[in-house]
Structure 1
Amino acid sequence: MIAYPEVRRWAQDHCNAFIEVDLQPTARAYAVEVLSRVPQIASISIVSSGRDLFLTVLTPDLATLSRLVLEKLQQLPGLRGTRTHAVTTVYGEGNQWRLDALSPQHRVSSPPKAGNRPVWKDDYREVLRALGDGRSPAADIAARTAGSGSTVRRRLNEMIGGGLLSLRCEVAQPITGWPVAATFWARVPPNELHRTATALTELPEVRLCAATTGADNLVMTLWLRSLGDVQRLEAELAAKLPALSLTDRAVTLHAAKRMGCLLDDTGRITDVVPIDPWASFSNTDDRRGQPAGARAVVVRSPPS
């Protein structure tokens, strides 16, 4: 189980973005190694069709996002270019997606409590940084912070109950029956955007749907049962949502990182880099001066 800032709420108060990264072919492996260790980069996909990497980023503000793009990414050897799509609204994300393995009466959900919306305080940030694994006992988290076990439990309850923190059980995608991941870019007239995006979140294939800045004002990520479903879904969307115009699509060749979890070729977690939007870039290893094509360090699964 993983823990991270609830992204729909985060987009309302802070800054989410999708970044497309173009690289020289020999530079890709090293770029993935470096970017996987950046706490603001929640997810990294190696994709097809006109871009090399597709990043999901959480930062506290636009200034930090700018630093990430203009400083951190620009240091990558072999970089050809980037395209940044700032998120304006998140309509649905992976913590709502279901395999339908459980009946409705057996599903557990924790809707935010009514009342004033809480904000990210320093105490909450400290707990998030120490959490790492959503299954960590409060005593373990307390040992990594200045609080007691009871204090940690209270803060966690406040964060979850207030809709700040999301807990999600990850599963290796190849064994889910939905082994193909894809990303669609689309354009929707502004007066149809909310209705169209809301309808998209009701489709079983849609894992994430977000409105973005730019000519393509809607981005969605999908899990599909086969490559043929890409074409089938396009036809279905054209029939059901005439206001939606698909402009581009890309298939994920490999998900290297998903919401802080580093993944191997089978989709299993090999390590976790907790999401920390406030982390200093100086705390991450960018290995400046590494030549393009340098050999990447492979993070292997621990022995069973």
Structure 2
Amino acid sequence: MPDSASSLDETDRALVNALQVAPRASWTEVGAALGLHPATAARRWSRLRDSGLARVVAYPNLAAWARYRCLAFVEVDCAPAARDHVIARLVRAPRVASVTVASSGRDLYLTVLAPDLAAMSATVLGVTRVRGTRTHLVTHLFTEGGAWHLDSLTSGQRAALHPPSRVAAVLPETDRDLLLALSDGRRSVAEIAERTGTSTSTARRRLNRTLRAGSLSLRCETAQRPTGWPVSASFWARVPPHELRTVAAGLVGLPEIRMCAAVTGVDNLVISLWLRSLADSQRFEEQLSTRFPSLTVTDRTIELSAAKRMGCVLTPAGHTREVVPVDPWPAGS
């Protein structure tokens, strides 16, 4: 086990990868797949969680949400003196799933979920002390960060963990209490029952139902730097509409891609990626132009830092210090 609380050894990486594949797998299942005693797997996970290196979080299925509700990427411009204030408010906002400090033409970059356009408008217009915002509504989500995995397991180990189904249904507001109870996605059924005010059998039935339906997504979020992919970038691009799905299908297969979405506006495709180095941003753009000649990159940005990622509020080192659950229906909205 490493001495540093900011690193991942090979066993830690395999453990994180196992929970990326099957976020609620039992320690017996995880141990069997990794060749660890269940108690050892549990102890290692506790260290990773407590140090902020990894955390399992829950959120509405984003592909279904984009199709039936309202998902958007929002660029925010603000004065340097107001930036810290704006970030501090945004990381506490339940509808704002992610907040990054960006370069090249925008100060902040947000991922926002809302039940409808009116709620999205109220959320974006409610961001105070800013110079301006630009909202890109998602019309189709091809992949998102929860599908990005470390490559630390064999195919046999992944299969042994019984990955959840890829069905995608929209999460109803009636399951909001369940969503909030899973701010720790590995919370026991008994703890979920207590937090939702239901019996254990009811909590288990509701959890199994939402996971089978795919309306509730679970992600093993991990600190970025220790993964070996320390640089985040986003590209905006234009693709002929009749080629959009074909190009997106090719992009999704690339190991750097974290998110790929069709959006409204002059640019119809946004992709986010993790890279090994800053230089890889240029290399990747050259790769795009070669592999996808119909794709034109119109803008690009490098993430300077992340303040929040899918509900995980991050330290300057990128470790989770607390979770503000992603909640499209916050109280008083």
Query: Shorter-chain TM-score: which interval?
Result: 0.7 to 0.9
Amino acid at match of 1:192: E
Q: Displacement of 1:224 after TM fit?
A: 0.1
Residue of structure 1 in register with 2:86 after alignment: 31
What TM-score comes out, normalization by structure 2 length?
A: 0.80
Q: Which of these residues, 299, 307, 312, is aligned with residue 256 of structure 1? A: 307
Q: Which of these residues, 56, 60, 75, is aligned with residue 5 of structure 1? A: 60
Residue of structure 2 in register with 1:208 after alignment: 259
Query: Percent of pairs identical after alignment?
Result: 52
Residue of structure 1 in register with 2:72 after alignment: 17
Q: Displacement of 1:172 after TM fit?
A: 0.8
Q: Contact 2:289–2:295 (CA<8 Å) still a contact in 1? A: yes
Amino acid at match of 2:63: R
**For residues 11 and 2 of structure 1, what CA distance do their matches in structure 2 show?**
19
Residue of structure 2 in register with 1:88 after alignment: 139
Q: Contact 2:99–2:307 (CA<8 Å) still a contact in 1? A: yes
Whether 2:120 is the aligned partner of 1:65: answer: yes
Matches for 1:88-167 after TM superposition, within 5 Å:
88-107=139-158, 108=161, 109-112=163-166, 119-167=170-218
Residue of structure 2 in register with 1:241 after alignment: 292
**For residues 244 and 324 of structure 2, what CA distance do their matches in structure 1 show?**
34
**For residues 207 and 118 of structure 1, what CA distance do their matches in structure 2 show?**
21
Whether 2:93 is the aligned partner of 1:42: answer: no
**For residues 137 and 291 of structure 2, what CA distance do their matches in structure 1 show?**
27
Q: Contact 1:43–1:57 (CA<8 Å) still a contact in 2? A: yes
Q: Displacement of 1:69 after TM fit?
A: 1.4
Whether 2:317 is the aligned partner of 1:266: answer: yes
Whichever structure has more helix as a proportion of its residues is: 2
**For residues 103 and 119 of structure 1, what CA distance do their matches in structure 2 show?**
32
Q: Displacement of 1:119 after TM fit?
A: 4.9
Q: Displacement of 1:130 after TM fit?
A: 2.1
Q: Which of these residues, 218, 222, 225, is aligned with residue 174 of structure 1? A: 225
| Partner SS state of residue 267, structure 1 | coil
Q: Contact 1:112–1:160 (CA<8 Å) still a contact in 2? A: no
**For residues 230 and 253 of structure 2, what CA distance do their matches in structure 1 show?**
20
| Partner SS state of residue 307, structure 2 | strand
Amino acid at match of 1:110: P
Higher RCO (CA < 8 A, seq sep 6+): 1
Residue of structure 2 in register with 1:294 after alignment: none
Residue of structure 2 in register with 1:231 after alignment: 282
Q: Contact 1:260–1:275 (CA<8 Å) still a contact in 2? A: yes
Q: Structure 1 pair 154/224, CA: closer, same or farther in 2 (3 Å)?
A: same
| Partner SS state of residue 170, structure 1 | strand
**For residues 100 and 165 of structure 1, what CA distance do their matches in structure 2 show?**
24
Q: Displacement of 1:277 after TM fit?
A: 0.5
Q: 122-131 or 188-197: which moved more?
A: 122-131
Q: Displacement of 1:96 after TM fit?
A: 1.0
Q: Structure 1 pair 179/120, CA: closer, same or farther in 2 (3 Å)?
A: closer
Amino acid at match of 2:165: P
Q: Structure 1 pair 185/122, CA: closer, same or farther in 2 (3 Å)?
A: closer
**For residues 144 and 50 of structure 1, what CA distance do their matches in structure 2 show?**
43
Residue of structure 1 in register with 2:51 after alignment: none
Q: Contact 2:65–2:170 (CA<8 Å) still a contact in 1? A: no
**For residues 174 and 331 of structure 2, what CA distance do their matches in structure 1 show?**
18
Whether 2:272 is the aligned partner of 1:221: answer: yes
Unaligned runs of 5+ in 1: 283-304
Amino acid at match of 2:164: S
Amino acid at match of 1:111: S
Unaligned runs of 5+ in 2: 1-55
**For residues 280 and 136 of structure 1, what CA distance do their matches in structure 2 show?**
23
What TM-score comes out, normalization by structure 1 length?
A: 0.88
Q: Displacement of 1:123 after TM fit?
A: 3.7
Amino acid at match of 1:133: D
**For residues 122 and 10 of structure 1, what CA distance do their matches in structure 2 show?**
12
Q: Structure 1 pair 122/65, CA: closer, same or farther in 2 (3 Å)?
A: closer
